[in-house]
Structure 1
Amino acid sequence: MYCKESFSKKNITIEEYFELNISANNNLNLFDLINYYRKVKILLNFFGQHHSANDYFYLKENNIIYENQDEPLIIKLHTSSVNFINNFNFNFNFSYDDLVDSYEKIFDSWFNNQKLEDSINLVAEKSFLKLSGETYFLNTCFSLETLHRKHFKNNVYEEDIFKELSERIIKKLESDEKKLFLEKLQYANEPSFRKRLRDFKEDFSIAIKGDFNLKNLIGNIVDTRNYLVHRGEKKNVLDNIEMSKVAKVIENVVKINIFRLIGIDEEKIKTKVKAIEYNSIISND
């Protein structure tokens, strides 16, 4: 730990930082190095630590000085893939003391739980790229759906029962009908998006402050997602402002679950989330 002091005539500001040293057991190529750095930066930002300045990598060959050079040649590398353009953390702010006792488990889970990677990247994308409100909303929906598929019960019927039902139906179909039916079977035993959202009922209550009708909110989310994906009838669809605010709620529901899965204490999660007022999300319920 070290302190950075900033003095002025009227006040003294002391900012506290901590250094994080990362080493690898094996040699990393440049792509892997940047990828690991990006993951660390996203993790810290999930905890509420945002750094808006551009990052650079300085590369040099140790103890090698070329002809006509007084010191080792240094290459300065800038890549937009690790630089934030937006602060995508909205309602969490963990301190170093909140995490110090479990940081090893947190980092191990963050880097080694491959099933989390897609959900993390989907909600993190808006910090690296300029996304439209619609894309941001869809990203949060896909992130939550992916999280549920990989970490929660992902079948409506038990596999043996579903197999038996499918075989009984197939026996009654003509050959051309069987082909169409088999194509539809891939996700037929998965819960609907509406059902997945209902499974996060308690987490919506953590992410939202005030009384709200979960059934109506889920209906808005499902109908808006379906409209954006299929461009069908525009009914019960959130407007652009509501869409962005609801996306923030969904993002925080995703983060609540990610924090649990990487080993953060439940009570700390609840105390660190700043719930969003429901009246500020949707004007008419």
Structure 2
Amino acid sequence: MRIEEEYKKTGYFWLPGQEEKKIPGVLSIDDGGKIELEVVGNFSESIASANDNDDISRIIGFVEKDGILTLDDCFYTIRNGLFGGISKSKVRANRAFIGAAWNKEETVTFNSLSFSVDCLDEWVGISGIHVANDWDNDTATISYNPPEKISFSLDNGMKLEICFAYTLPGFPNITEAKITQRAYLRLTSVELRELNEFTAIAFKITNLMCFAMDEVVSLKSMSATSSQIQRTVQEKQHPIPISIYYQSIPFHEKKPKKTWHEMLFNFGSIKTNAQQVVNNWLNAYDYLYPALNLYFSTKTGAQKYLEGKFLALAQGLETYHRRTSNETLMELALFDSLVEEIITGCPENHAEWLRGRLTHGNEINLSKRLKRITDPFKKHLGTSAERSKMLRKIVDTRNYLTHYSEELKDNSAKGRDLWVLCQKMEVIFSLHFLKVIGFTAEKIDVVVENCYPLKQKLDAI
């Protein structure tokens, strides 16, 4: 999670049901979402106690400016008592809810979750700001019409909305009149749902944005509302927004800058069928999660070395084909019959070993799997000879980096050749993911033609 402004607040903290036992402390939330609380002493029955059985899984606090809050899933990282001087303890929390307090055993539930991601405004590409310049008379007119929110129904019963927050000029505005607008996403549910249900969808949508922008973007500015937490304003009930912090993934310390023409696709490319695209992506996690996870591990920096990145991509492509195809070498009944025939002729003391060796004997090999998944996009991947050479090199390199067999060493890719293979494999993933979310062959051709980063990967030699 990206924290764009330093969060460091002084306040008092206590365990649920023990408000009379407040202790002073400082709450800090770093960029990335790491939550740390430093308190004087500790949360024991006696401030000088060192009872290791203290349950501090949930902590309530009241801090400057923000008021009441809840820290959830907490544990000590440094635990000290108070023996004649000032001693401090440190606590880590996995989640922070700013704006409300929950009891020890109370489930945290919400009806909506709002969040943004890096470069979302550029991806959405919708603005209500209009500027008219009259150069002849040295005048300019600036107007603002808030864009209408865009709503999609999700297959899990939630709604996803693209919303627009804005600020208008204040008074007096003698030297400056400023209008700002930012896009954000909101998940809504009629019934109350636990936070994990919302954040699971937010994680998948953030990864969709990473894929669409061809960039690691981080979730930010998260808040939630609940029908059970409201306040009265002018005799009307209004939900209280609860700010939420945690260490979400993906996260990259450097904030990206991305313009629409550097992206794989933007909202304008899918606006006519955006609801289906989003649902296709979310549903793909049910059967493609391992392949998606391997692909994104190469984008977020989890693979520190080029060899590791290559192996993750190779395994990811193999996994993708396994999850999308039931192809085998022969029909199952024929294979089972053949296995039994072979086992029958095997010495009894070796039968179990042989059966184990034959367990996966009906699966097609990596070379055939790669050919199957490149065939739909072969016109983008060079001539027949170039494709065959690329696939052979991927197989030989995967086998060498997996087994380090000396006979494969000379045939494996190294250095720049290995980097080029990774570029090509990323392209194959991208083209298939476009197909998964509903892009037609014609629309994929348009993406290949107009996406400069994709063309760079295709042209890498």
After TM superposition, list the pairs within 5 Å mapping 1:42-191 onto structure 2. Answer: 42-48=207-213, 50=215, 52=217, 55-58=220-223, 62-63=229-230, 76-84=244-252, 93-113=264-284, 114-131=286-303, 132-191=305-364
Q: Cα 1:124–1:255, aligned 2, differ >3 Å: closer, same or farther?
A: same
Structure 1 residues 76 and 25, CA, compared in 2 at 3 Å: closer, same or farther? closer
TM-score (norm 2): 0.51
Counterpart position of 2:189 = 24
Distance 1:170 1:251 in 2: 42
* More displaced 10-residue stretch of structure 1: 217-226 or 172-181: 172-181
Q: Secondary structure of 1:47's partner?
A: helix
Q: Amino acid of the residue matched to residue 357 of structure 2?
A: K
Query: Unpaired segments of 5 or more residues in structure 2?
Result: 1-125, 132-179, 233-239, 449-453
2:460 pairs with 1:280: yes
Alpha-carbon distance between aligned partners in 2 of 1:16 and 1:238, rounded to the nearest angstrom: 48
Larger Rg: 2
Are the equivalent residues in 2 in contact too, given 1:85–1:127 (CA < 8 A)?
A: no
Of stretches 249-258 and 44-53 in structure 1, the one that deviates more from structure 2 is: 44-53
Aligned to 1:10: none
What is the DSSP-based 3-state SS (H/G/I as helix, E as strand, rest coil) of the residue aligned with 2:378? helix
Distance 1:212 1:16 in 2: 52
**Partner Cα separation in structure 2 for residue 77 and residue 59 of structure 1:** 11
More helix by share: 1
Amino acid at match of 1:121: N
1:115 maps to amino acid: Y
Q: What secondary structure sits across from 2:245 in the alignment?
A: strand
Cα 1:269–1:157 shift into 2, 3 Å = same
The equivalent position to 1:35 in structure 2, one of 188, 197, 200, is 200
| Deviation of the 1:275 alpha carbon | 3.3
Match 1:257 to one of 427, 432, 438? 432
CA distance in 2, matches of 1:129, 1:166: 44
Name the SS of the counterpart of 1:106 in structure 2.
Answer: helix
Match of 1:248 among 423, 426, 429: 423
Q: TM-score by structure 1 length?
A: 0.79
1:235-277 deviation per Cα after TM superposition (whole angstroms, max 9, x unaligned): 2111133222211211221221222122122211122023346
- Greater relative contact order (CA < 8 Å, ≥ 6 in sequence): 1
Q: Secondary structure at the match of 2:273?
A: helix
Matched residues, number: 266
Instruction: Provide the rounded CA distance (Å) in 2 between the counterparts of 1:49 and 1:262.
Output: 15
The percentage of aligned residue pairs carrying the same residue is 20
Structure 1 25/174 Cα, relative in aligned 2: closer, same or farther at 3 Å? farther
1:145–1:196 Cα contact (<8 Å) kept = yes
Q: Give the deviation of 1:175 after TM superposition.
A: 2.0
From 191, 209, 216, the equivalent of 2:389 is 216
Gaps of 5+ in 1: 7-14, 66-71
> Cα RMSD (Å) of the superposition?
3.3
The residue aligned with 2:139 is: none
